[in-house]
Structure 1
Amino acid sequence: MTDGMTDTVEQWRSLLARWSQEWADAQDGETPEGERPARDEEPLRTRWLGFPPASEERIRALEERLGHRLPPSYRTFLAVTDGWRHAGGFVWLLAGTEQARWHEDASGLSEFFPGELDEDSTPEDVLLAGMWGRALQLDVESDAVYVLLDPGDVDGSGEWAVYSWAPWHGDQPTRYGSFGAFMAAMYREFHSLAVSGSEQTGTEFVNATTQAQDAAVEAARLDALGGRYERAATALAEAVSFGRPRATGLRDQIRRLLGQTYMVYFHGLAADPVYVPEVVPVLLAEHARMRRDQELSPYDLPGASDAVREAADGILRRIRSGTFRYTAEGVFGRAVEEAREQARWGETDAAWHTLRAALPEWRPLSADHLAPVGLCADPLLGPLITPERGRELLATPRAGQPGEVPPPTTDLDPPGLAWLADGDPGNFLTSYRFLLVEGVAPAELPALLGEGEATVLNDPATLWEARRRFRSGADAPPWADQALTAVGRAGPGWSFAFAPNPGGQFDERRFVSPGLAASANTRVVTVWSESGHGRPAVFHLSVAENGEERYGCTLRDATSDIRGPVPAAFLSPADASAEDRQRRALEALAAELRVRLPRSALTRGRLHTFRTRPWNRPPGPGEPYLTVRVELGRP
């Protein structure tokens, strides 16, 4: 319902007549006859919520009294009806020519909205600050709802903005571009409340408007499956405002894949056993993130049966333990399993390509299922679904629907290793160390680099989660600089073990790379980069093979310690900055070995982890060391 629907007397008369008929029909069975307000008797009898039209003389008299010409949509409205009953659900009488009056801040609300103005105040704040004193008040009888028509907020066609506010609503006043836009919104509010009322009383609220909106919802569903999600989202938003039962559940699937979580509840789907495996994990993943250890309450899944709640409790336990896995049927289901295997070793871009290629073969669980939104809850695959990829997913035709396949989004991971020299906005990778091992699968790294045969891979976790869960074991000697590393594939034939922000400091006097012993039957590259923080920045790179270091270099600002035949491409001029020297070495290493590290998996994904053997030697005779342990407890 747009402003253009109320530009003329005929358009107003059509809307208001339809509104009145639908309102009268909705009263049958909703309110017992003896409980109806007396003010409703006449509009029920006449099936007209309005009054006789205001004559041109009455309208001009009002304009003379106000000292303003009325805005077009309100003026035309008055020519159809001199006032209105039941504008939405909470304004029982709207002013005509006799009742309209200047508000003159009678409510005293200018003190609170928008508050004190300052240099950071927006133009909207300035308009709102003056609105309370200059606006025309249109509410006559209401549930404490103010409806104010503002002559200081005027558009190019002469329309005055309408502001509506109620103390029980609590938010900022709602602004409508014109009186026509306000009335269109109140018509939609009437419909939405009538739907709720019919659900509570078990009556049926059906008319030409509801049927047209339901047809639009079905067309939007097919649009969404065909990749035309923006058009679908617009139609569904309109249907949601009319309270159509299916619209919110469908629209929430689109919103969630676009990265939106606020007020996403999958209305009507979360309590349906058919859709529980798809949408409930998404809700519970957000519940676990925001409410930590809180259990589910009866309000979390309204309308759910005991069986659905029991299933939800099980899903929540698996989400919190990190064992939840999203599943699907058929070709797409097999792609999900393949993509998860790729993602758990850091190949997140390849995992997304696998999912994207299979999207046309995805099939819905039932009629109100638009897309594999459950991917968002999977601990390994969820981080792949960025808002950009969510748009790509939604724009890809699915379920056998025709449509144009969108161009692929840009991969998240940059090539090579040089991105490590760029730092990290979250200060996560300002210092790091890693090992690259040739010809060894990631799953075999614990046996090669770990401390003892008992070292195994931990379940996939973010690096922050892994550090919180797996702290240094009591068996490690206090001098040992072990590293909790994330592992994965680093390119054809290479695996990595990566540790961000090492706990220890690089000290070449005691430094021993775990890769040296591990290189007995392979080639291992060791890199350690340490930012300054008041000390000279350090960048160490060494390559070991057959149990011996072939070459290495340690760069400290303007000094270099070169050992063995280091390729010239690895080294920078002596006057180069520490960042440039690090970047050149990383670029050369990636080019020579054709290796890369997955930035997205390391910074926001989940990878297997394990703890390496020490990166330093034990203290020698006469070498003291100090161990400090801090234990935090409750007072």
Structure 2
Amino acid sequence: MTETTAFDWRSFLLKWSGEWADSLGEGEARSEEQKAARLARWLGLPPAPEERIAAMEERLGRRMPPSYREFLKVSDGWREAGGSVSLLAGTADAHWHEDESGLAENFAYLDEDIEPGERRQADVWRRGLRLDVESDMTYVLLDPEDVDEDGEWAVVTWAGWWGDSPRRHASFLEFMRDMHRQFHSLRARRSDGEPVFANDTTHELDALVEQARLKALRGDWEEAGKALDEAKEYGRPRAAGLRDQIRRLLGQTYMMYFEDLVTDARYAPELLPPLVAEHAAHSYRADSTLEFQLRGADDELVASAYAMLGDVRNGTYRYTPAGPFGEAVERARELARWADTDAAWRTLMDALPLWEPLGPDHLAPLGWLADPVLGQLLTPERGRELLSTPRGGQTGAAPGPVAGTDDPAGLAWLAEPDPGNKRTSYRFVLVEGVEPGELPGRLADGDAEEDGGADGAGGGPVLNAPMTLWDAHRARHEGQREFSSYDDRALVAVGRAGAGWSFAFDSEPAPFGGQRFVSPAAAASGGTRAVVVWSGLRAWHGTPFFHLSVAQDGIEDYAFTFADGEVRRSGDIPPSLDPDRFFGAGADGVEAERSLLEAVSEQFGARLPRHALTQGRLHTFVTRSWTRPPRDGEGYAVIQLSWPAEQVALPVDGKLAAADEPGHG
């Protein structure tokens, strides 16, 4: 016997009817049918005998699905099915719809290439069995062509105010269960003065929510999430706010509002930042929608939210919790801003058992997600690790190592295609024994351009505030009015490159100018060693190339450049880096790139942080040019932009002349 045929319909329907009767306010039962149903505590109708069901099936030409058949034996129809169906059909009223609603034409836009399930949604209006008798612009159809292994027909519902595709329920039983949940959800949002909606079901669900809260704090977030999902569907208080905390750490931001918890002054310091940050991430949203999400909040909290929105947009918001966990947050931020995201994450996880919730409905630290430096640390794997870690005074088994949370070792990951398939050329400088904040003094001019921030050393070139590489490039070019074909000053992100090394990385280098290229290795190596790598083996345009140079104490030790199928070399190159090992006849450029990066990493013990460079926010600065100035007789172009006109200037006898002057095309 299947679960659907074994279901106790009578107990379920009696419970629903009693809950409905007890929930009615004074005068809410208006019709005679409602008054009689309230008095009888029964929303159903008399049961249908087998012969009546058989007659119905003969009339319709089909045997009814099991769960609908069993329902009819208990009640030959149903009143108040959810919020918009006031009467559901029994044996006499069920009939083939045959598109009497005209909805088939509404879904005629679906073409021949759609999935079979979508095609069923379009055709159900012609073949479905209609069950709604009295409703508020709502249609309920049993689909005789969407049948499971137990013979159950799917139920398709659609309401005029949805504006989207029909909703599907696996069976009539699942539809009725969902309508019971919908009834509960609507009744749970009662206004002041109406009867308190409390019954055995609400008591059981509220106890389930409390159990889920404790499970979540012990690290059993999956079971907690299932319980909270069920309670949320019944509209139970707390369930949605608790569930959203789990969802957010899993990277799920759609319809994430934390409900009533975010407007509670106790929880706002932790729940408001991720809500505001999600709003800021979607600049097309009007700022007034933020206030809508905070409906019910007092004026002070709303004002705080808008002030926080400005900080988040400016990249100046800082997450500063109290206590030992707050101290760990500061250490983690310092690690993360210099690209050591693995160590930053471990610092947070080691301190998580010390974290204290702001109240009984606070499941995990969340304010850090809005911090421009710390927020970059979140990945789906790390979110699951955090949720699996006991915290907030609860005990449990700590999670084992979570795969995919740490960066790959070394440099070889640069040879792998990135998700956007955009990293075809890159260059970087490694400097030994110096801090990242010292790199501008080694690689930039004294009057290097600044885009914000104040992390330089000794009043020289400064580092920009941490930001994504995309934002850094955009900020650099805002207002730029002059571009030169010989000036190749790189915008580089900086950080730590493993034990004893710092890096400066350029993700969008200019085209490689082999004849005028000047490696910055010598200038960067005063009193130490420096390594320069520039790869364009997978570049979309131009000749594939690869450059490596190593310098010590201001003097270049060795270097080689592969371009045009040939290798130019200088100095005593170690055997492990000999270009002949990588660029022999018929060598594959991608494999050569990977092997070279592995060899460089092994030779110097350095690495680059993938997560920080692809997803994070790092300090940046602009280097001095990677090309030498032009010599006598060498041409170059300077493009000067003016508003509203543009002027292209070319060098003529050492002077700039407008491109539209006679003789200068």
Is the TM-score greater than 0.5? yes
Equivalent residue in structure 1 for 2:426, among 421, 427, 432: 432
Pair 1:602-2:607 in alignment:
no
1:170 CA displacement: 1.6
- Specify the alignment match of 2:584 in structure 1: 574
Where in structure 2 are the equivalents of 1:312-323 lying within 5 Å? 312-323=305-316
1:292 CA displacement: 5.5
Structure 2: gaps (5+ residues): 447-458, 647-665
Tell me whether 604-613 or 476-485 shows the greater mean CA deviation.
Answer: 476-485
8 Å CA contact 1:482–1:612 kept in 2: the answer is yes
2:616 maps to a residue whose letter is: G
- Specify the alignment match of 1:442 in structure 2: 436
8 Å CA contact 2:432–2:528 kept in 1: the answer is yes
Where in structure 2 are the equivalents of 1:131-530 lying within 5 Å? 131-196=124-189, 198-199=190-191, 201=193, 203-291=195-283, 294-297=286-289, 298-409=291-402, 410-452=404-446, 454-471=460-477, 478=484, 479-503=486-510, 505-530=511-536
1:573 CA displacement: 4.4
1:512 CA displacement: 1.9
Hey, what's the Cα distance between the residues in 2 that align with 1:352 and 1:128?
A: 46
Tell me whether 242-251 or 364-373 shows the greater mean CA deviation.
Answer: 364-373
Equivalent residue in structure 2 for 1:58, among 52, 60, 63: 52
8 Å CA contact 2:482–2:641 kept in 1: the answer is no
Corresponding residue SS for 2:272: helix
1:334 CA displacement: 1.9
Q: What is the root-mean-square deviation in Å for CA atoms of aligned residues?
A: 2.3
Hey, what's the Cα distance between the residues in 2 that align with 1:79 and 1:526?
A: 81
- Specify the alignment match of 2:542 in structure 1: 535
Corresponding residue SS for 2:259: coil
Hey, what's the Cα distance between the residues in 2 that align with 1:538 and 1:127?
A: 55
1:235 maps to a residue whose letter is: A
Corresponding residue SS for 2:125: helix
1:20 CA displacement: 0.9
1:625 maps to a residue whose letter is: Y
8 Å CA contact 1:430–1:501 kept in 2: the answer is no
8 Å CA contact 2:381–2:405 kept in 1: the answer is no
8 Å CA contact 1:346–1:488 kept in 2: the answer is yes
- Specify the alignment match of 1:13 in structure 2: 10
Hey, what's the Cα distance between the residues in 2 that align with 1:519 and 1:380?
A: 29
Hey, what's the Cα distance between the residues in 2 that align with 1:391 and 1:633?
A: 53
8 Å CA contact 1:569–1:585 kept in 2: the answer is no
Structure 1: gaps (5+ residues): none
8 Å CA contact 1:481–1:614 kept in 2: the answer is yes
8 Å CA contact 1:559–1:574 kept in 2: the answer is no
1:428 CA displacement: 3.7
1:200 CA displacement: 5.2
2:276 maps to a residue whose letter is: L
Alpha-carbon spacing, 1:584–1:8, altered in 2? closer, same or farther (3 Å): closer
Pair 1:26-2:23 in alignment:
yes
Tell me whether 228-237 or 155-164 shows the greater mean CA deviation.
Answer: 155-164
8 Å CA contact 2:481–2:641 kept in 1: the answer is no
Alpha-carbon spacing, 1:474–1:7, altered in 2? closer, same or farther (3 Å): closer
8 Å CA contact 2:336–2:374 kept in 1: the answer is yes
Pair 1:585-2:596 in alignment:
yes
Hey, what's the Cα distance between the residues in 2 that align with 1:94 and 1:472?
A: 63
1:117 CA displacement: 4.3
Matched-pair identity in %:
53
Equivalent residue in structure 1 for 2:553, among 536, 540, 546: 546
Hey, what's the Cα distance between the residues in 2 that align with 1:73 and 1:279?
A: 43
Tell me whether 519-528 or 422-431 shows the greater mean CA deviation.
Answer: 422-431
Hey, what's the Cα distance between the residues in 1 that align with 2:167 and 2:417?
A: 43
Tell me whether 517-526 or 263-272 shows the greater mean CA deviation.
Answer: 517-526
Hey, what's the Cα distance between the residues in 1 that align with 2:620 and 2:284?
A: 23
1:250 CA displacement: 0.4
Alpha-carbon spacing, 1:532–1:77, altered in 2? closer, same or farther (3 Å): closer
Hey, what's the Cα distance between the residues in 1 that align with 2:640 and 2:192?
A: 62
Corresponding residue SS for 1:628: strand
Hey, what's the Cα distance between the residues in 2 that align with 1:226 and 1:69?
A: 50
8 Å CA contact 1:348–1:601 kept in 2: the answer is yes
8 Å CA contact 2:442–2:524 kept in 1: the answer is yes
2:414 maps to a residue whose letter is: L
1:371 CA displacement: 1.2
1:32 CA displacement: 4.9
8 Å CA contact 2:37–2:43 kept in 1: the answer is yes
Hey, what's the Cα distance between the residues in 1 that align with 2:643 and 2:357?
A: 50
Corresponding residue SS for 1:607: coil
Hey, what's the Cα distance between the residues in 2 that align with 1:632 and 1:428?
A: 32
8 Å CA contact 1:114–1:128 kept in 2: the answer is no
1:353 CA displacement: 1.5
1:45 CA displacement: 2.2
Moved over 4 A (4+): 472-479, 630-635
8 Å CA contact 1:266–1:279 kept in 2: the answer is yes
Alpha-carbon spacing, 1:180–1:367, altered in 2? closer, same or farther (3 Å): same
Alpha-carbon spacing, 1:464–1:631, altered in 2? closer, same or farther (3 Å): farther
TM-score using structure 2 length: 0.90
